[in-house]
Structure 1
Amino acid sequence: MSKPMSQSEVSITSTLAPSPAIRRSQTLALALLVVTGVINYLDRATLAVANEFIRADMGLSLGEMGVLLSAFSWSYALCQLPVGALVDKIGPRWLLGIGLVVWSLAQAAGGLVSTFGYFVIARIILGIGEAPQFPAAARVVSNWFPLRARGTPTGIYNSASPLGVALAPLCLAPLIAATSWHWAFFVTGAMGLVAAVIWVALYRDPVHAKMTPAERAYLEAGEAGEAPPKADFASWRALFRHRTTWGMMIGFFGSVYLNWVYLTWLPGYLRAERHMDLAYAGIAASIPFMCGFAGALIAGWATDRVTRNAASPVSARRNAVVVATLGMVAFTIPAALVDSNAVAVACISIVIFLANASSACAWSLATAAAPRNSIASLGAIQNFAGFLGGALAPILTGYIAQTWSFVPALLTGAAIAFVGAMSYLFLVVRPIPERHEAAA
């Protein structure tokens, strides 16, 4: 097992700075991840923005819409398991490029469907295509940033998710009003195909043979020891033997469940439960996700600051996840119960701010807790469990709202997120050792 760094080692690694060439590669990689991440979440959120129009056009109940909203998450979650291992083995460039093409074609196909069954199939394929995005991003960050400086870049690429959701009602609602809901799917699908070409053309993994000793020292800071074994099925399977893995899985299930209650149902909730008109609901639905954009950026920066002076990067990043998730729980309760729409939107904005802070910290936790050859694998396993929660959230929320109201649906999400926070706190206590260390 890797030991916490001494204060002298922390001081040495914190003084290393990237060369101009490394910094250019870092900036390019993050810019590409943000662009692809925004498109990724625009595509996911299109269905939520067009919810009311699709239900009216296709004659769907709230429960059926919940099934449609969740179809993406089931395939996305299941694909996390093989995709994380493939990213570690093959690399992020081609897997994310292929994923962009697949999910963009599926998104465009969503605008062509005329039946509930075909729509579900299109959303399932969308989930398969989008699966490489965040495991690939975690691998890119671990490739281009040293161990104790990964929070900020992780926050930056995670900020793409709330930014995409925030832009969705602002950009797609006017497009739907001017044309039809079908065109929202066509336009976002075309954007993804363009992004696929740009990603494959511009992104490259670091090549250590072409680096100076100082550049290698910068990237390897905090990762002393012999080179890790290559990623294989045995190293992937071994991750499940550690309670850290299970703590991250249960914890992310709770956090993502509550986040996806809002992600999939917020526009519909504001229209059906809060009785807002379409224009006001679109603006009100964007505000929380703009706050989420800020939450991801601030959390990444803050956890790097804390981690530089912490005895253990794992405990520092885990504690940040716990605090953010408990905050989501605390503010969901008044969001569900208050009469004032303004107060409810303010509370929801804080929840989404904290949800994206929690997500950014959880992904940076994966880069600290995983063996060096399994960073994308552990991140994807955590994400797999999270999106089981993301798949369950819209279904359960839809049926609870249909049977009673959105109030018990929101409170159910808060209870599930609380269990997730406790799982992180009590199960994620140390990094997972590399195989040669475990055998020693």
Structure 2
Amino acid sequence: MQSSATQSVESVPYRWVILAMMFACFLFTFIVRFTWPPLIPVVVPVLNMKMAQAGAFMGAFYFGYIITQIPAGLLADRFGVRFILAASLIIEGLTTFGMGYITTYDAGFALRFITGLGAGAVYGACARSLMEWFQPKERGIAFGIMLAGPSGGILLSSVIVPPLNSWIGWQGAFQTVGVATILIGVVIFFLVRSSETTTTSANMFAGFKVVFGNRDILLTALSGFCLMWVELGTATWAIAHIKKLGHTLAASGSVMMFYGIGGLISPAISGWLSDKIGHRKWIYLGSLAVIAPMTVIFGYQTDLTMLCVTGFLFGFCSYFANPHLTIFVSEFAGKQFAALANGSSNVLFQLAPTIGPIIMGWAIDVTGVFSTVWWIMAAGPVVGILCMLPVNPENRRD
């Protein structure tokens, strides 16, 4: 029976359409959240904000983002992912469109919080969908492609938002991103479906015992917190840092374009490699070991060419680690509870970008320089290695 089911899923080409839709979901969720960092140098003076408040806009997103992770995971495991993903993208689009009309810090904070509420459903639901449609021997490449979405979103927001700001102003930039996100939500509604009737018939809260009683899931989640600490800290502050060095906003965006290109191509390569040779855990640990020094090296560059070169390498190394976290958590929980497990783990992941930008913004306000921030970020991967060492990837439920 299992062999027949496996053959059925693997022989359906529509799984690649599903993968494209999951990539699109993740991509636009990151475009939405990182439309703000390129506009920080423009909007902060207009609204008379401090840098700590600018960081708090990112924190507001993640406060909302965390709240819906677990409820959305429960619902995705119980009822499927289509409605949840479509609603998520439409909410994000509407609130991002509304950012084009803010005149006060409080209004922007509220809209960013609601945007986070909408985005909170995406990660767990996407992971659940790929667990349904892809068998273990293809999960590395599938999750690798999906998890190119974060760096793709950072790349596109860095490339698109500065020109939009020049052409139609920061208000128009928010509005354009909002409309595009709403349209993707509509497409998701019509194209996404389940591969089979795999939603669980068990009590929808039964997965809590599986998820929160599993040491491997909890340690993996802690390691993911450490990875997100540096990844999303960089995405929040790099453009403001580069502009403070004396480079233009467009030049700052070009550096993050190279960072994004590195991060865009590395997850799929990493996932494909792990499908071929195995050893996902050691590939992940090796990535963390390289990320820590690369963070400091990037942070101490001042020349634009070297910023672009090290930015590419920094992005490539950082996002090389991403697919394995999601695969570990999904397989430790099994297909039945994959959305809940990933939603719950992502709560811990996202505590890093919730508190990190505020702490880092405070450090900038106090010291007046960005150099301390890169050392604060680099500590994350070192701690992440220590968290991951006891994890046993063989403890899979599937």
**Aligned residue pairs: how many?**
395
Name the Cα RMSD after superposition: 2.3
1:420 correspondence with 2:384: yes
The whole-number CA distance in structure 2 between the counterparts of 1:32 and 1:238 is 28
Q: 2:61 aligns with which of 69, 72, 77?
A: 72
Residue segments in structure 2 that go unaligned for 5+ positions in a row: none
Check whether the contact 2:77–2:336 (CA below 8 A) recurs between aligned residues.
Answer: yes
In the other structure, the counterpart of 1:406 is: 370
Percent identical: 19
Cα-to-partner distance string for 1:119-154 (whole Å, 9 max, x where unaligned): 011001111101111211111111101123211011
After TM superposition, the structure 1 = structure 2 runs for residues 125-274 of structure 1, keeping only pairs within 5 Å, are 125-207=114-196, 230=202, 232-272=204-244, 274=245
Aligned pairs (5 A) from 1:4-403: 22-23=12-13, 25-207=14-196, 230=202, 232-272=204-244, 274-307=245-278, 316-403=279-366
In 2, are the aligned partners of 1:162 and 1:290 still within 8 Å (CA)?
A: yes
User: Match for 2:91: what amino acid?
Assistant: V
Please, which of 424, 431, 440 is the counterpart of residue 395 of structure 2? 431
Distance 2:359 2:71 in 1: 27
1:17 Cα offset (Å): 8.7
Corresponding letter in the other structure for 1:195: I
User: CA offsets per residue over residues 223-242 of structure 1, 9 Å max, x none?
Assistant: xxxx9873621322442122
> C-alpha distance in 2, partners of 1:151/1:19?
14
Are the equivalent residues in 2 in contact too, given 1:261–1:410 (CA < 8 A)?
no
Change in 2 beyond 3 A, CA 1:140/1:238: closer
Alpha carbons of 1:341 and 1:401: their partners in 2 closer, same or farther (altered >3 Å)?
farther
What SS does the corresponding residue of 1:305 show, helix, strand or coil?
helix
User: Secondary structure at the residue paired with 1:386?
Assistant: helix
Quote the Cα distance in structure 1 between the aligned partners of 2:297 and 2:187: 44
Q: Deviations over 1:324-365 (max 9, x none)?
A: 122111211222334544334433322221222212221122
CA distance in 2, matches of 1:387, 1:380: 10
SS in 1 for 2:206: helix
Instruction: Provide closer, same or farther for how the CA distance between residues 391 and 382 of structure 1 changes in structure 2, counting only shifts above 3 A.
Output: same
Rg comparison, structure with higher value: 1
Q: 1:6 aligns to what?
A: none
TM-score (norm 2): 0.93
Measure, in 2, the Cα distance between the counterparts of 1:96 and 1:338: 40
Is contact 1:300-1:361 (8 Å) kept? yes
Which residue of 2 is the match for residue 437 of structure 1?
A: none
The AA in structure 1 aligned to 2:327 is S
Q: Distance in 2 between matches of 1:338 and 1:36?
A: 34
| Contact 1:87 1:95 (8 Å CA) reproduced | yes
TM-score (structure 1 length as normaliser): 0.84
Q: Match of 1:205, SS?
A: coil
Aligned partner letter, 1:270: I
Shift of 1:367: 2.4
Displacement, 1:110? 1.2
